[in-house]
Structure 1
Amino acid sequence: MSDPHDLVAFLDLGWQRLTRGVADRRAAARHPVFATVSSDGAPEARTVVLRGANRHDGTVEVHTDGGSDKVTSLRSNSRAQLMVWDDKAKLQIRLSTRVTILHGGDVADRWQNVPDGSRMAYGASPPPGTPIPNAHAYTKLASLDWFTVLTCRIESIELMQLIDPHRRAVFMANDDWTGEWRVP
């Protein structure tokens, strides 16, 4: 183990776990919780699939159906938080972000890389969240028109590792990711 007091190494660990989540379907960071605030102020949280993690740009990316509640909420308030619990590393990662919503021609290149089976997640009739008379009273559309990319520009990264002794740090984009230790 590296020096437990080294902030840079701690941030490196967080990014290593995030990038692994993009590449490895079994990695803990593959399925973070994505939290937004609804237009009426209620918290909303759901599991998403991490599709990109770019340390250089300070962004992570998820894909969604453009008709989903999360997109509606993000149009009112572009802030979101992603949270990962990595049991193997005993590490909680919280990313506070501002989200840019991209769709249509802006994401056609990404759509080309979405496997046919996964395309079914993008587009439904009636739209997601609509009440239906039974569990299967909808049609999946597999449509580029509904494929939406959420680019999450990270404003802060909070890492908390529950090893003995616990440690916690916060890294801010506006401070060049210098970081500071916090009481866990």
Structure 2
Amino acid sequence: MSEWFETTDGILSKVWGTLGRGVADVKHPARRPTFATVSPDGWPEARTVVLRSIDPTVAVVTVHTDLYSDKIKSLQAQPRAALHIWDAKQDLQIRLQAEVSISSGAQTRALWDKIPDHAQQSYGVTPAPGTPIKTALEYVKDPDPATFAVLQCTVTTIDAVHLGADHRRVSFSRLGHWQGQWLSP
């Protein structure tokens, strides 16, 4: 019997399983991927987000954000992002490229109502995220469903690297119907 990292199908299954664990387990490394965009003036931006849901059948992952965050401005200018996860226990690096759509307002109200009060504190800050302030705590958290946004990330490519005794790297693409292509690591 082969190990998961010895076949492209095994790696693809492990990638989606790892992402699923990130949604379900608050302590799993896939819970907080690095989310990268390009600013409207062309600079790379990376920040940590919380993975909220995945659907491998349509290759979609979602994260939540404040509608007034810098990542929204970046995504409005260029609706693409990359997500990066490092799972040290599995020696697995996952990189996703995705096309991103932004939902807010009435589209997200039912979801907002399901978010616990302590988590709602992340959406609705005055002044808006990124605004200069004089002292570190010169802001007010005022949860507001009007500032809550869901980023639906439709995965277009997956690049997975297993750094075991033998390094293995494989690429998958939506256009290629998720057939794995081995790459030199």
How far did 1:17 drift?
0.4
Change in 2 beyond 3 A, CA 1:3/1:32: closer
Equivalent residue runs for 1:123-142 within 5 Å: 123-142=124-143
How far did 1:5 drift?
3.3
Separation of aligned partners in 1, 2:46 and 2:98: 14
Separation of aligned partners in 1, 2:97 and 2:180: 14
* Matched residue, 1:11: 12
> Does 1:106 pair with 2:107?
yes
Change in 2 beyond 3 A, CA 1:183/1:129: same
**Deviation string for 1:126-146 (max 9, x for gaps)?**
100000010111111111000
TM-score, length-scaled by structure 1: 0.98
- Which amino acid in 2 is paired with 1:66? L
TM-score, length-scaled by structure 2: 0.97
How far did 1:123 drift?
1.0
Q: Which segments of 5 or more consecutive residues in structure 1 lack a partner in the other structure?
A: none
Separation of aligned partners in 2, 1:47 and 1:10: 24
Separation of aligned partners in 2, 1:108 and 1:170: 36
Secondary structure of 1:93's match? strand
What stretches of structure 1 move > 3 A for 4+ residues in a row? none
* Matched residue, 2:68: 67
Change in 2 beyond 3 A, CA 1:145/1:161: same
How far did 1:4 drift?
4.1
How far did 1:3 drift?
5.8
Separation of aligned partners in 2, 1:64 and 1:115: 15
Separation of aligned partners in 1, 2:75 and 2:5: 37
- Which amino acid in 2 is paired with 1:100? S
Secondary structure of 1:175's match? coil
Q: Which segments of 5 or more consecutive residues in structure 2 lack a partner in the other structure?
A: none
Across the two proteins, how many residue pairs are aligned to each other? 184
- Which amino acid in 2 is paired with 1:18? L
- Which amino acid in 2 is paired with 1:13? K
Secondary structure of 2:90's match? coil
Separation of aligned partners in 2, 1:129 and 1:138: 11
